[in-house]
Structure 1
Amino acid sequence: MSMHRWVIYSNIIFGDGHMRLFLLLLFCLSNLSFANLLSNPGFEDGGTGQLTYTTIPGWSVWGTNGWHHNDPGRTIEQKAVKLWWDDAGLFQDFSVTGGKDYRFSASMLSGSSEPLTGWEGIVKAEFYDGVNMQPSDAVSVTEIGRFYPGDDAVDQWKKVSSTVTAPAEAEVGRIVFMITGTSGSGALNFDSASVGAALPSADFNGDGLTDMRDLARLGDSWMQANSACDLDGSGLIDIDDLLVFASEWLTDTTIYAGYDLVWADEFDGNTLDEANWTRMTISGADSGNWELQHYTDEAANACVADGELVIKAMEQSYWSASENRMYDYTSARLTSTGKRDFLYGIFEARIKIPTGQGIWPAFWMLPSDWEYGGWPASGEIDIMEAINDTDVIHGTIHYGGQGAHDSSGGSYSDGGVNFGDDYHIYTMVWEPTVMHWYVDGQLYSTKSSWWSEGEPFPAPFDKRFHLLLNIAVGGNWPGSPDETTVFPQTMHVDYVRVYQREQ
C-alpha cells in the first residue's frame, strides 16, 4: 500500500475493538500462505517428451498426441503442455468437500507457427464420489472455458476461470485439459493451472477495493457475530476469517505498492469536467476500422449523471457535411489529450460495458505527441476492449512502423460471465519495460517485448499517452449490428484513476 493511500485510511477513527483487529491483521499479513490444490500446476517438474512416453509429476494423461515441452514463446515460465488431436489430454485429481465452492483457472495459447484450426480447447471441472472414477461416473461436469480459433488471437495467452460448487456427494475434484471437434489441425498449449477454495469477498462496502473501510465493517461484523463475516465458510467468525481478509488486502495492495494516486475523475458532479475531457467529433470512417457511427459532442451521447459517466451509442441518423454522407448511428468518444497526459503509471476504471452484436466498448490510450510518427509507429495501448456478447475482455498493445503494424496482448474470461451484466474494474500497469493487465484484480496478461521502427526498446512506449473512452458501432472486428442488437447501448463509468510511482 502506498503511503498516500495509508494516510487516507489511517484518518478513519476506530474503536478499541477495531484497533485490536487491525493489529491482528498486521501480524497475520506476515504469516500468510495460500495453497494451490494442484501439484506441479505449471508443468515445471518432469522431463519433456511425448505424452504417455514421459511422466509429468502430478498429472495423468491419455493418448499420445501431445507434448510436454519447453518451446520458447509457448510457455508462461519454463514448460507447458500442448495437444494436437482430440484423442489426447491430461487431468489431475484432488480432494474436495461437498457443498464448498472451488475456483478453477488455467491459460491456453495457440502459436502462430502451428495455429489451432477446427479444434477447440476446453478446460473442465469434474467431481466424483471417490469410488467410481471413470469420466462417465462424474457426478457433475462444468466447462471452465474454451479457446476458439479465429475468435481468440494467436500468440496470446487466454486465461479462463470460474467458480464451481462441489456436489454434496463429491469427495474428489478433477481439472481436465483437452481439445475437441470433428476435425482440425495445429496445436494448443496449456499452462498455469490453479484450483483453490473460493472464498466470499471481503469488499464489504462494494467499492472495488479491500481496505481499511472494509476492516471497520469486519470489526463490527465480528463483534455482532454477523454471518456475512464468515469468510472461510467454517460456521465460525474467528481468526481464520481475518486471514481471508488479509489475503484479499494483499491482492489489492500488491498492484498499488509504491504508487500514489495522482489524478482521478469520480464523476461526482452533474456535468462533464472539461478540464479532464474533450468530446471528439469524428466519424467511424476516420478510425481505420470501418466503424458505422459518428462521434458527436452532444450531451445525449455522453453526460455525467448519478455519480457516473454515461456514454450512449444510439441508432440515429447523422449527416456529415464534410463527408457528404449520412451515418445511421451516433456515439461518443472522450479523450484527455492535452489535459491529462501521462508517462507510466497504473490506469484503472470501474465500468459496466454494453453488450450486443456489433458493439465495441473501449478504455484505451493513444500517444499525446506522436513523436515516432503516425499509427502504429507511436503505439497504442488498449486497457480494455470487448465486442458483441462481451464474455471475453481483451488487453493489447499496437506498435511497429509505417506500413508494418504489429500487436501483442491477452484475453480474459470468467467461466462464461457476461461482463456487461455488472461493473468490473479494468487495470493496466505501465512501467518502462513491462505492462500488466488485470480484471477485478486478476492478472491475465504481461507484455515485456515490443519494437519500434528505427528506435531502440522501449520505444514507442516511452512517451506520453492520453486516455480515451468510447463505444464504437460495427467495424471490421465485431461486425455490424443485426436484428438482435438493442439501442441505445450504454457504457457506465464509475471512475477513472491514475497512480504513479512515489517521488
Structure 2
Amino acid sequence: MHHPAPTRRPLTAAASLLLVGAVAATLTTTAPHASAAPRDLVANGGFEGGTSGWFASSGSTLSTTGAHHSGSASAHVGNPRSGAATVALNDRTNTVVSTTKGATYTASAWVKASRAGTSAGVRLMEYAGSSLEGQRKGTVWLTDTKWHQVKTTYTAAADGATVDLNVLAWSLAGGGSLDVDDVSLTATGAADAPPAPAPTPTPTPTPTSSPSPSGWHRVWDDEFDGSSVDGSKWNVRNNDHNGYERSCLTNRSKNVSVSGGSLHIVGQRENMKCGGYNGSFTSGYLDTIGKFSTAYGRYEMRAKMPTQAGSSKGLWPAFWLRPDDGGLGELDIMEAVGSDPGEKNYDHVSQTLWYKTDGSVKGQSKAAYPKGGTMSDGYHTYAVEWEKGAIRWYVDGELTYSRDRSTTSWLSAAFDGGRKFHIRLNLQIGGAWPGLPTGHTKFPADYAVDYVRVYQR
C-alpha cells in the first residue's frame, strides 16, 4: 500500500482467551435403519482412560477430575497464568483419516466452566494435508458452572481428507478451567470405518495447527477462531477515511467480523459520512500498532481474495508492513486489484518493496500467480521472509521474488537497522491503481483471512 500513513485510533478491548481442544475421533456410517444408532468411535472420549491420547498446549495444564458428566472422569484443562491466555486440548492424530465428500459429521461434547460467563464451542475442521478445506462451529453461552452440551454438524468438502475436532472456550480468565466430557463424533453417508484402537500414553507435546517452516519458530499469530476481533492483537479503524480511497472505514460487524474461523474484511456499496467525507462505500482496516511489531521474521497469511474476474473493479486487498517510527521502508507482502470484464489483472499478487512512501524513489515489485488457480478461487498462502540483507516472497510455499543488497541499494537503509515493523490488513475501495468500482463490481466484497502468523529464527 503505497500511500502516507495516517493517524490511528486504537480500538480498546479486553483480551480474550481461546481454549482449543481437539479430540481423537474415528468415523462410522449411520446404520440404514432408524432403530440403529450411529456408533461413537471417539477414542477415550469419556476420559475413563485418563489423559491417554490427548495433549495440552505449552503453558496450560491437563489432568482428569472426578467432576464428570457421566462415567467416572472428565478432562480438566487449566490456565495457570495470571491473565487470559490460549490453551489447547488436542488429539495426537486426526483420527478421521479419510472423509467421504458430502458425508455429514456430527460432533458433540459436554462442557463445564469453572466460572460463569464463558462462551464455549465445538468445531470440526477438514484438512487435505495442511490445507484447510472447511470448518463448522457450534457455541453455547455458559451462564453458570453446570454441565452443558454443545454440538455442531459439518458436511465434508472432499474425499480422502481428515477431520479434526476442537472444543473451545472464550473469555476464560487466568486461573480458570474448562472441564470436558462425553466427546463424540459420528458420520452419516461416510464409508464404514473400524473403531480406533485405544491410545497408548505418550508424553504431552506442544500442539500446532500446522508445522512451522523449517528453521523458524512461531512468535505471534491470530487464527481467528473466536467470535470477534481480538482487541489485544488488533486496532480496527472506525469513522475514518483515507484521502486516496473512496470508502469510509468502520468497525461495524458488516465491515469487520470474525466467524467460521476467518476474519472478514467486507466492502459494501452504501452511502456514509465519516468526518467531513461523504463516502459511497464502506470497508475495514486493521493494524497491530502498539500491540505487536518486530524486526525481521517470516510473516504469513492464508486468505481468499474478493478479486473475481470481471466483477471486482475498484477493490484493493492488502497485507503489508510499516515501521513503528513511520520512517523509511514499506514491505507489501500481498496486494491485488480487481477487474472489469475483459481485464486480466485480477489473478496476480503484487509483491513490492518501498524505500519511501512519497513516490520519490521507485519501488521494486513483481507479479506472481497462484499455481493452477486464481486468488479468489479459494484460500492461498502469502508470505515474506525478512532477514538482514535479504527479503524473499512466497505464494503457496513457492519462492516467487527476492531482493538483497546487490539488487537494492537502499535495502540496508530501510530494512537492516533493527527497526520494528507492524502488520496492516485492509480492503481499499477506489484509488489511482484499482480505479473506481463499476456496475459490474459485486458487493458485499469479502476479503477472508484464515490466519496471520509470524515466525522468527
TM-score, L = length of structure 2 = 0.51
- Aligned-pair distance for 1:256? 2.1
For residues 443-454 of structure 1, what are the structure 2 equivalents within 5 Å?
443-449=399-405, 450-452=408-410
Task: Determine the structure 2 residue equivalent to 1:367.
Answer: 323
**Residue among 242, 255, 269 paired with 1:301:** 255
Residue of structure 2 aligned with 1:488, choices 423, 432, 444 = 444
Distance in 2 of aligned mates of 1:415 and 1:348: 18
1:396-439 Cα distance to aligned partner (Å, 9 max, x none): 11114866232112111247732111110111111111111111
Q: Structure 2 vs 1, CA of residues 406 and 281 (structure 1 numbering), >3 Å: closer, same or farther?
A: farther
Q: Report what 1:399 is aligned to.
A: 355
Matches of 2:305 and 2:294 in 1, distance apart? 24
State the match for 1:345 in structure 2: 297
Question: What is the alpha-carbon distance in structure 1 between the residues aligned to residue 237 and residue 351 of structure 2?
Answer: 23
Pick the aligned partner of 1:206 from 131, 134, 145. Answer: 131
Give SS of 1:469's match: strand
One-letter amino acid matched to 2:293? D
Provide the rounded CA distance (Å) in 2 between the counterparts of 1:14 and 1:285.
47
The answer for the alignment partner of 2:176 in structure 1 is none
1:173 corresponding residue in structure 2: none
Structure 1 residue 458 displacement after superposition: 5.5
* Higher relative strand content: 2
Higher share of residues assigned helix:
1
Q: Distance in 2 between matches of 1:351 and 1:401?
A: 26
Task: Answer yes or no: is the 8 Å Cα contact 1:451–1:460 preserved in 2.
Answer: no
Alignment of 1:47-66 (within 5 A): none
> What CA deviation, in whole Å up to 9, does each residue of 1:372-404 have, x standing for no partner?
x4xxxx111111001014311111111148662
Query: What is the alpha-carbon root mean square deviation over aligned residues?
Result: 3.4
Relative to 1, partners in 2 of residues 1:203 and 1:435: Cα closer, same or farther, differing over 3 Å?
A: farther
The whole-number CA distance in structure 2 between the counterparts of 1:205 and 1:405 is 40
2:335 corresponds to 1:385: yes
Q: Is the 8 Å Cα contact of residues 451 and 458 (structure 1) preserved in structure 2?
A: no
Q: Measure the CA separation in 1 of the matches of 2:434 and 2:397.
A: 26
- 1:89-488 matches, within 5 Å, as 203-204=128-129, 206-207=131-132, 256-281=213-238, 283-286=240-243, 290-321=244-275, 323=276, 325-355=277-307, 356-370=312-326, 373=327, 378-389=328-339, 390-400=346-356, 404-414=360-370, 417-449=373-405, 450-452=408-410, 457=413, 459=415, 462-488=418-444
Work out the CA distance in 1 between the residues paired with 2:380 and 2:91: 26
Q: Which amino acid aligns with 1:270?
A: S
Q: Distance in 2 between matches of 1:308 and 1:473?
A: 21
Counterpart amino acid of residue 296 in structure 1 = T
Seen in structure 2, the aligned counterparts of structure 1 residues 498 and 392 have a Cα distance that, compared at 3 Å, is same
Cα distance, 1:299–1:477 mapped onto 2, change above 3 Å: same
Q: Deviations over 1:447-502 (max 9, x none)?
A: 114355xx96464664111111111111100111111101111011111111111x
Q: Is the 8 A contact 2:234 2:291 kept in 1?
A: yes
Structure 2 residues without counterparts, runs of 5 or longer: 1-56, 59-89, 98-126, 134-160, 163-209, 340-345
C-alpha offsets along residues 203-255 of structure 1, whole Å, 9 cap, x if unaligned? 436349xxxxxxx97xxxxxxxxxxxxxxxxxxxxxxxxxxxxxxxxxx97x8
Paired with 1:304 and 1:13, the residues of 2 have a C-alpha distance of 28
- Compared with structure 1, are the counterparts of its residues 278 and 409 closer, same or farther at alpha carbon in structure 2 (3 Å cutoff)? same
Q: Distance in 2 between matches of 1:365 and 1:313?
A: 21
Unaligned runs of 5+ in 1: 1-6, 19-201, 209-215, 218-251
Distance in 2 between the 1:260 and 1:456 partners? Answer: 24
Partner of 2:363: helix, strand, or coil?
strand
Q: How many residues align?
A: 258
CA deviations on 1:284-321 (whole Å, 9 max, x unpaired) are: 543xxx21112112222101111111111111111133
